[in-house]
C-alpha cells in the first residue's frame, strides 16, 4: 500500500486556489508594466544610452543664428582705471571741506607712486578749484623726482601754484634735487628766472644755502 500523504495545512489549502487564480494576472501585469531603462552593458561592452540623449548630442548646432545689434565699446563710458582714481572721483563728490581734502590727498598720493603722468592729466581736467589744484599739484611735485619727470616739467608745475607758501616749498624741493645734478644751472635759474620775485629769490637762496656750493 503506498504511503499516505500528510494532509495539506489549512493555510496552504486556503491560499492555493488564490495563488493559482492570480498567477496569470500577475504575469500579465508584469508584461504590460513599463520597464526602466537598463543600465547593464550591451554585448559589445558599451553602455546603452537613453533614447533622449542621442537627440541632444547629435542635434546640429545653429549656424548663423541672428543676434541683436549691440553698441560698440566706444558707446560706453570708460570706467576709472584703478582704485586710487575711483577714490579720487569719489572725493570730488563730497562737500568741500577737510574730509574731501584728506580723501583726495590720500588717493592722489598713492596714485602718483604708480602713474604720475596720469595723475597730472587728471588734475588738469578735474581740479578747477584753485586751492584744490594747488594742493594736488604740490603733492605731485613733492612725490616725484627726475626719474619720473624732467626737471623743467617739475619747475613749470611748481611755478603754476598760486599759493605762495606751497609755491616756494615746491620750488625748493625741485631745486634741491636739481642742485645735486647741476649746481650751476640752479644758480642760473635763481639769478635770472622771470617766474621769481626778488623776495621769492631771496627765500629760495636762503632755503638752499646748505646745498649750494660755496663761492
Q: Where are the domains of the chain?
A: 81-144, 149-215
Query: 115 pLDDT exceeds 80?
Result: yes
Q: Cell 626719474 identifies what position?
A: 147
Query: 208 pLDDT exceeds 70?
Result: yes
Q: Which residue has the higher pLDDT, 143 or 79?
A: 143
Q: Which residue has the higher pLDDT, 162 or 209?
A: 162
Query: 63 pLDDT exceeds 60?
Result: no
> How high is the pLDDT of residue 55?
41
Amino acid at each position: 500500500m503506498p504511503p499516505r500523504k500528510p494532509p495539506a495545512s489549512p493555510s496552504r489549502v486556503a491560499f492555493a486556489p488564490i495563488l493559482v487564480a492570480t498567477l496569470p494576472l500577475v504575469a500579465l501585469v508584469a508584461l504590460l508594466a513599463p520597464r526602466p531603462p537598463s543600465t547593464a552593458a550591451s554585448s559589445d561592452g558599451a553602455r546603452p544610452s537613453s533614447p533622449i540623449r542621442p537627440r541632444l548630442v547629435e542635434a546640429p548646432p545653429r549656424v548663423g543664428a541672428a543676434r541683436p545689434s549691440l553698441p560698440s565699446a566706444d558707446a560706453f563710458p570708460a570706467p576709472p582705471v584703478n582704485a586710487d582714481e575711483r577714490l579720487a572721483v569719489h572725493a570730488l563728490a563730497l562737500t568741500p571741506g577737510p574730509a574731501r581734502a584728506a580723501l583726495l590727498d590720500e588717493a592722489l598720493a598713492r596714485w602718483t607712486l604708480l602713474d604720475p603722468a596720469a595723475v597730472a592729466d587728471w588734475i588738469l581736467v578735474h581740479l578747477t578749484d584753485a586751492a584744490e589744484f594747488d594742493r594736488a599739484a604740490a603733492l605731485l611735485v613733492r612725490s616725484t623726482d627726475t626719474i619720473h619727470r624732467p626737471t623743467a616739467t617739475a619747475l613749470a608745475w611748481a611755478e603754476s601754484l598760486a599759493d605762495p607758501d606751497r609755491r616756494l616749498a615746491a620750488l625748493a624741493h625741485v631745486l634741491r634735487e636739481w642742485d645735486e645734478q647741476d649746481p650751476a644751472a640752479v644758480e642760473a635759474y635763481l639769478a635770472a628766472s622771470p617766474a621769481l620775485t626778488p623776495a621769492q629769490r631771496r627765500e629760495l637762496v636762503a632755503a638752499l644755502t646748505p646745498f649750494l656750493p660755496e663761492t
